[in-house]
Chains A and B, each alone.
Chain A
Amino acid sequence: MIVSVIEDDAFLRDELLRTFIKAGYDARGFADAESALTALAVEPPALAVVDVGLPGRSGYSLISEIHGTKQFPVLVLTARDTLNDELTALGLGADDFLTKPCPAARLLARAKRLTELYSGMRNEIKLGKTRLDCDSFNLTSPSGSVVLPETEGRILSVLMKKYPFPASADEIFAEVWGTRDFVDENILRVNITRLRKNLAVIDTPVEIVNIRSEGYIAKPCTEQ
């Protein structure tokens, strides 16, 4: 399980990483919000531990951004201990709030609680290195992430679930629109085109192939 630690003080960051590694996590450290966001988008962790006092882009804006994608819990670890600080952090979307200094046992206990809570809640499908969150339709690949519109997201989730088999047009219609009646036949083709375009935007290593009289299939690409 990946834990990302975003803390600008090198010594503290080191120790936090060590604490999580000793507890068996795959811990990654970042010194500022920008570098963290890029990595978090590519490979979302099971938990992000964030210090609000970051250089450049503030920790609060980082929390707010992560909360927007709703992919993983955020634990705020900060020296700021007033009620106001806590309410601000929680209000922006943080899931828990701890003040420094904090015993390792407490930090790990809270981390465990959050990761367990969230793993039960996450609704995600993977295909090779690509993942699709079925609640937010946020598509993540090693080269980036994009939020798909609902229809395209649902089509892709059908295709990804059916892999390595193709999904017939009937199946797709049933899953996405509920019925083929009263629905324009073209709508599937149009959405597939749009979906392909969106996949191309972030160079997703997934190809949607139309197999005649069988339907569509989502194939993971091995070369870029």
Chain B
Amino acid sequence: MLLKKIFTRAAPWAFAFAVSDAAFIFTMFLLSPEKTPKLTAYILLASALAFAVGCFAEQRRRKKLDLALGEFAVNMSEKTALEVDRVLGGGFADRLCLAAQKYSERGKRAVELSGEADDYREYIEEWVHEVKTPLAAASLLTDNRADEMSADVNNRLKAIFHSIGESTEQILYYSRLNAPHPDINFENIKIGSCLEQTVEDFEPFISSRKIVVTLPQNDASVTADRRILLFILSLLMSNAVKYCSQTDGRIVFILHEQDTEITLTAANNGEGVRTEDLPFIFDKGFTGNCPNRKKATGMGLYLARKYADAICAEITAPDVFPPGCTFAVKLTFTK
């Protein structure tokens, strides 16, 4: 390979020497044929030497160029560009400096875009915080003034405000996915108390639709971030409430502790998910190909998976469900 390279580089020069040597040797032959053999040897030797010196010089220049290009590749600035130009012998400064300039412009644009994304993220945080105050007021209002409205109106309002709350939580957590400084704090948490809190949050839906929720008899401690765990549980609960049977809804939580892992299964008795859709349910924006699929953003399970990853847990949709259920999501924590 190397030999081939050297050959292709040297060939034109070797050819030039050969042609000029041949011309001189021929001329000498014409002028004095008897001295030709000795002179031929002399000429050939001289041109071989010249060729060798040329090769050597070229090799050194190539090395210098390699170094200069190395610097340029790592940091395309005017300084490194001019150095390459110098080694090349000049004449290429304009082109090289243009390359360096475009590179620096791209770099600046990247920083700008990153700053813009940060601004967006910050604004979303502020916006969500702002909207939580009226939401809190609305939710307390429906509790406090239940006697000023019919039970039906009260339940509907509660459901509506809860739904708005869920959407704002989702966008907040979505925006935090790519935040530069993730805010994660691992601690030992008893899953039981988190489940209780989640069920408490969904109480209005559970009682108005008379959904039967089965919580695990046992409890276990996992190492996770409390807020994130509660968020994931709320996503799973929201789905379970949404999709469980309308007439006799059932949601089952099962907690299983083994030597190396703890699994929490959340199952419900709704329509279930078609087998061909199962592999995709955690994909961003996936809402299923079935026309009956309830209106959804497809972000719930995507966020659940992303945040499960963040707390080093695994979330899957197994193809076996607890008795009486048609769909389950399994959250696995390694010990």
Chain A residues with a Cβ under 8 A of chain B = 9, 11-12, 14-16, 18-19, 22, 53, 79-84, 99-106
Contact = CB atoms under 8 A, between A and B. Distances in A.
Given A11-B134, A22-B144, A103-B203, 6 more contacts: A12-B134, A18-B140, A18-B145, A101-B140, A101-B165, A104-B144
Interface in B109-158: 128-130, 132-141, 143-145
A110 to B, nearest CB: 12
Interface in B48-78: none
B135 A100 contact: yes
A12 B129 CA distance: 14
9 contacts: A11-B137, A12-B137, A18-B145, A79-B136, A83-B185, A101-B132, A101-B140, A103-B143, A103-B203
Contacts of A53: 129
Contact of A15 (B130, B144, B203, B227): B144
B144 A9 contact: no
The 3 closest A-B pairs by CB, nearest first: A101-B136, A15-B140, A79-B132
Nearest to B164: A101
Interface centre among A15, A104, A105 (most CB of B within 10 A): A15
B136 A12 contact: yes
A103 B201 contact: yes
A106 B134 contact: no
A79 B131 CA distance: 9
B200 interface: yes
Contact of A79 (B129, B138, B143, B227): B129
B183 A105 contact: no
Interface residues of B, number: 24
Contacts of A80: 129
B129 A15 contact: no
Interface of B: 128-130, 132-141, 143-145, 161, 165, 183, 185, 200-201, 203, 227
Contacts of B139: 101, 103
Contacts of B140: 12, 15-16, 18-19, 101, 104
Contacts of B201: 103
A18 B137 contact: no
A100 B136 contact: yes
Nearest to B201: A103
Nearest to B145: A18
Contacts of B128: 79
A96 B137 CA distance: 20
Contacts of A103: 139, 143, 200-201, 203
A79 B129 CA distance: 5
Nearest to A84: B183
B139 to A, nearest CB: 5
B133 A12 contact: yes
B143 A104 contact: yes
A79 B133 contact: yes
Contacts of A82: 183
B132 A19 contact: no
A53 B133 CA distance: 10
A28 to B, nearest CB: 17
Contacts of B227: 81, 83
Given A103-B200, A104-B144, A106-B200, A9 B133 contact: yes
Nearest to B227: A81
Contact of B134 (A9, A18, A22): A9
A101 B135 contact: yes
B143 A19 contact: yes
B172 to A, nearest CB: 8
